[in-house]
Chains A and B, each alone.
Chain A
């Protein structure tokens, strides 16, 4: 019921004539008119109706009594007694009620003083966005300033009533008079967690400018103390960023100061030139699990500090970077510290379609630093040239590449070489065809494609056991990986290859060009044993097989399935499949199964989540992520929302594992008063992140 009417144009002609109308008119010509019964006075966008009125022509002023009603720019006022200057918009009303067009804000008062066309001062009045004459919530204030020009309301010495009970008293508070973002309190969150005890957060939002804002998060935690947070955001034509600073002086539990900083910034300071920073830091290993408000924060174990400077032109680009990580250790499951890149310099040049040829050269020199592992400088140059032949029915791309690298190492094990170099050529040929036919998909006519693809790679073998590993790793087996020349990601291991990848994709495409469904299968075949390895040696004749099917079966049902099957071991190494059913707005059910045997420890989970209306005005939301290997719930969430016309109440309980044998459980309550406080805080974020397809209960169902 919060469909705010579009604000009428405020451009009014002050010289427009005042037009008067009534059943009976008497008076002195050119001085004043006395009117009775069905009085109507109109000037531009202001209309006054009443039982009786006097209009003073020279002053352009109305004095009205009995069923007075005034409309100006979409706002409506009623009064017992009313005096108003039609040209300046000044005047007053006694025993008025009011209703604002932009957001249905309404109330009653002892008196309203009209200060100008778009400003009114309400004395001893109420304010609410509820429709009913007996509102569920309202503000009662000594003085209310309503400024529809600024879209801002301010209540002085106010008490907030909910269901007739006063719940909050403030000397002054501001709120928006439309759906626009305005400075003000965000809905406070009240709750309890097993790590911090009872807590209350009352965020305050400053809308500094349309492209700048600041939110403060004062948060009282009964066991620890007062935690303060501030988040600032800015967006300018050439630069933008966001910085969050938070902390607590003298945490009552640890007896230490706790803090965290996170800042990202990007600035295109000259044509082609950009610099970025992404800086994150925390006072201690447990900071995120003790204080973070969202799951993305809680699970942070690597805090990146990265600064880059880039230059890009049409054909070449350059990058300089300094980067390292703060590792938040879990003593029971330690994390290997990543290398620092201090610095990394990269130069890339490429041109497409030069006489049919595409070429590129990537070169990179990086100083890798680690407190206890081998350190050193690594330089590589990686030129590539290809000749893509593209045709509507298919493509053929022969490609030649060279990977030349050089290492100067320090901190090397005695007896091991400190200078290493390697040059390896790679030849590959990628090819694919596209077949099409008209087909039917669940009763709809569509185009079905059949796209076979073959990819051959040859790289000679070179023993690389002496080379350190700075950034190389084994990638997941994916379609992207199957069609890469190197079996490894990174530049420390260049796989020997004499191998062929085969894949077939079939898509169902709607007449509008929308891809509705995709089924794909792919596998790599090795003609020689793979001698370059990371970890255990492999001598398989073929990779695992990948099978994937994703798309929408009907309007409401979509499926997503990916399988990685080993034929040599006859087991499923990875599987990830799920179904989503979304029959209507605010009705969604997700079921997913995930298996990953390539990780240590292995992962096997069933994930069920959904949002569903459970009774009139009541919505439930839940998620259970059950770990089959541990036989317990890894993540769980249960939420309940009640949506009234002008407020929403929600309660959300959540459990998140934070480290070995530990989890954070929390229970939060929130009351959101529509039009008084903006959306967006912890319980809502938790539901949005946990339940794919979750929709705000305040979203209109029939837009």
Chain B
């Protein structure tokens, strides 16, 4: 049916070096760096000025909104949002990618009596969204070459 195993040519990023504007101990940053290293020859540099591309994180937000109430007025479902806003500049400060927003969401049921477990479940869902986000960021970065 035409599907082919993805090759290095489609994940290779269109720059030789990149600076990732996320702290060393950021879980998102660690996962993103690992996948960039695996995606091809792009080197991750720690000196912003030496990088051919500079991924600048404008905001990383986690939000929680009520999705449904039951007839007793209790929250029975929340929606968790993971909102990531970033842009990519070249070494001269020109924008390679304008401010781009990626928003992920997951629904989670809620019960007051299970609040501790739900807190841990939220963390699990955010970890999964983080992995999802890393893949979506990489897709956008590698698409820059056609631009």
Contacts and interface: CB of A to CB of B under 8 A. Distances in A.
B92 interface: no
Interface string B7-37: 1101100000000000011000010001101
B6 A436 contact: yes
A484 B68 contact: no
B72 A352 contact: no
Interface in B67-86: 67-77
B113 A335 contact: yes
A31 B48 CA distance: 63
Interface residues of A, number: 85
B124 interface: yes
A502 interface: no
Contacts of B77: 576, 594, 596, 603
Interface stretch (A133-141, A145-153, A295-303): A295-303
Given A390-B38, A513-B140, A599-B76, A479 B25 contact: no
A658 interface: yes
A627 B143 CA distance: 45
A490 B66 contact: no
A671 B117 CA distance: 45
Interface string A60-84: 0000000000000000000000000
Interface string A514-558: 110000000000000000000000000000000000000000000
A274 to B, nearest CB: 12
Nearest to A389: B38
Given A301-B74, A480-B128, A472 B117 contact: yes
A599 B111 contact: yes
Contacts of A314: 24-25
Interface in A652-696: 656-660, 662-663, 689
A394 B5 contact: yes
Interface residues of B, number: 60
Given A607-B68, A634-B71, A476 B109 contact: yes
Contacts of B11: 392
A635 interface: yes
Interface string A608-627: 00000000000000000101
A574 to B, nearest CB: 8
Interface in A266-313: 289, 295-296, 298-299, 301-302, 312-313
A173 interface: no
A513 B143 contact: yes
A153 B115 CA distance: 49
A657 B68 contact: no
Contacts of B4: 435-437
Given A338-B116, A509-B139, A596-B77, A476 B108 contact: yes
Interface in A550-598: 562, 576, 594, 596, 598
A135 B40 CA distance: 65
A605 interface: yes
A513 B38 CA distance: 18
B146 A511 contact: yes
Given A476-B108, A480-B125, 13 more contacts: A301-B74, A338-B113, A436-B10, A437-B2, A470-B116, A471-B119, A472-B117, A473-B121, A475-B121, A513-B143, A625-B68, A627-B71, A657-B72
Nearest to B27: A350
A419 B12 CA distance: 55
A596 B76 contact: yes
20 contacts: A299-B74, A302-B112, A338-B113, A388-B34, A390-B38, A436-B10, A448-B3, A475-B121, A476-B109, A478-B125, A480-B125, A480-B128, A490-B120, A515-B139, A594-B68, A596-B109, A599-B109, A603-B77, A632-B71, A689-B66
A396 interface: no
A634 B66 CA distance: 14
B69 A635 contact: yes
A434 interface: yes
A317 B66 CA distance: 31
A30 interface: no
Interface of A: 289, 295-296, 298-299, 301-302, 312-315, 317, 325, 327, 330, 332-333, 335-336, 338-339, 352-353, 388, 390-394, 433-439, 448-450, 470-476, 478-481, 483-484, 488-490, 509, 511-515, 562, 576, 594, 596, 598-599, 601, 603, 605, 607, 625, 627, 630, 632, 634-635, 656-660, 662-663, 689
A513 B116 contact: no
Contacts of A509: 139
Contacts of B109: 476, 596, 598-599
Contacts of B112: 301-302, 327, 335-336, 338
B10 to A, nearest CB: 7
Contacts of B108: 476, 478
B69 A657 contact: yes
Contacts of A490: 116-117, 120
Interface string B86-111: 00000000000000000000111101
A320 B60 CA distance: 24
B72 A333 contact: yes
B116 to A, nearest CB: 4
Contacts of B147: 512
Given A301-B112, A436-B10, A393 B5 contact: yes
A336 B128 CA distance: 29
A627 to B, nearest CB: 5
B73 A298 contact: yes
A436 B3 CA distance: 5
Contacts of B67: 594
A699 B10 CA distance: 40
A203 B37 CA distance: 53
